[in-house]
Amino acid sequence: MQKRLITLTAASPDEVEGTLLPALTAALNGGPAVAALPSDRAERDRALTAIRPDQRLEHSDEEIALVVPTSGSTGEPKAALLSARALRASATATHDFLGGPGQWLLALPATHIAGLQVLIRATLAGTSPVLLDLREGFHVSHLAESLATMRSGRRYVSLVPTQLRRVLDAGGPATEALSEVDAVLLGGAAAPIALREQAADAGIPVVTTYGMTETCGGCVYDGQPLTDVDIDLAPSGRISVGGPVLFSGYRLRPDLTAEVLVGGRFRTSDVGQWSATGGLEVIGRADDVIITGGVNVAPAAVEAALASCPGVSESAVTGVSHPEWGQVVNRRSHPTRRRADPDAGIRTHTRKRASRPTRGTSRDRRRTRTSPPTIGKNRPPSDRRHRRRAGPKSRLLTNHLRPARCTIGFRLCSST
């Protein structure tokens, strides 16, 4: 029998609790697949062009539970088909990593995969999520009030960096309340080093996440793949993901599916490397690379190095044409205070931070260990980055310097 696909709007807490949560519960147990639509008319129309609820649902044999719109890096609307099996695997692996099921606070839109996963984790944990009303935007005071209503036991919340920045800037009850939860998943965008350090100083247990709609949300936590998730780096550094959390394909787009699902693995548009401690570092996008002197430069890696430079508050890195080098790496920085020489110390600092050698093979694959670490205030710092290599032993090239890490030595132009 053909599975049905239902669409619904879930903007208010009442809609989430009264309509979306029951629909998700049913979908996870073999009921109709669900597509949650945004309340904004333009966004809803854009989502419907990808979801196509008038067309029969494919992959019914895989128990599709969710159809989630995503534009990815191209901006072209498409929708990912997520099976109940993949969603359950993701939620279970998250709870394993965090130390066990608990109560969740929803502070993200329930139409995106990050928000949907908060609801799915709560459903599978048998707990009632606390719902933040986001119709008028994100307010720090509302977050503090909602956190205060969470019951005893393990408590989790998922935020994006902008939200965490606002909490830290406001200080007071919200920062104190956030420091008392067991984990704050931080994803959706790159988290600056300074932000993570400030959160740590405030006692907020941040767990950085990496993932996308096609991986049922975050699949790498603090640089470590979740249980049974397999991360592979091509010689170019391009990241591919394997494991039970992968999507089944794009809705009515077998052509796009064939481009990214190859050999049972999802080929992302991101470039990464293994850090000195064995964790995955995402350094940029494959389609956002500066080629200078024959070397590929990831702008995000340079921006990350600049973000930790004393006296620099904001930076943007771009490529500029050059007759000798082809392109040079150009930065625009905003100082934290007026300085006589805005470039003083920046080149030296950035060169040190962005030119560190990394260990790894030309094609390296890593997977989480089967016994996940505990997380939170009681977790040893060293345990967070514990990794083991999966599969056959591979040759380890020591002192291997990836091109994206040695770019500052070529040419770094500056403007303020």
Domains of the chain with CATH codes: 5-274 (3.40.50.12780), 288-415 (3.30.300.30)
Q: According to the 3-state scheme, what is the secondary structure of 284-297?
A: EECCCCEEECCEEE
pLDDT at 349: 59
Q: ∠208-360-309 over CA atoms, to 5°?
A: 50
pLDDT at 282: 92
Strands of the sheet containing 224-225, edge to edge, are 130-131, 103-106, 155-159, 183-186, 206-212, 217-221, 224-225
Determine the Cα–Cα distance for residues 79 and 252; give it in Å rounded to an integer: 9
348 CB-contact burial (10 Å; exposed 0-12 / middle 13-18 / buried 19+): exposed
Is 267 within 8 Å of 238 (Cβ atoms)? yes
pLDDT at 395: 24
pLDDT per position as a tens digit, 161-212: 999 999 999 999 999 999 999 999 999 988 888 999 999 999 999 999 999 9
Determine the Cα–Cα distance for residues 170 and 239; give it in Å rounded to an integer: 36
Pairing of strands 249-250, 238-242: unpaired
pLDDT at 264: 95
pLDDT at 117: 98
pLDDT at 292: 74
pLDDT at 275: 92
pLDDT at 357: 39
pLDDT at 145: 95
Question: What 3-state DSSP class applies to 125?
Answer: helix
pLDDT at 343: 58
- Residue length of the chain: 416
pLDDT at 284: 83
Between the alpha carbon of residue 251 and those of residues 89, 142, 247, 373, the distances in Å are 21, 36, 11, 36
pLDDT under 70: residue ranges of the chain = 1, 60-61, 72-75, 288-289, 291, 293-296, 298, 300-301, 303-304, 308, 311, 313, 323-324, 326, 333-334, 336-416
pLDDT at 337: 56
Q: Please tell me the number of Cα atoms within 13 Å of 76 on its side-chain side.
A: 6
Is 328 within 8 Å of 411 (Cβ atoms)? yes
Is 200 within 8 Å of 222 (Cβ atoms)? no
pLDDT per position as a tens digit, 250-262: 999 999 999 999 9
pLDDT at 198: 96
Question: What 3-state DSSP class applies to 166?
Answer: helix
DSSP state of 16: I
pLDDT at 151: 85
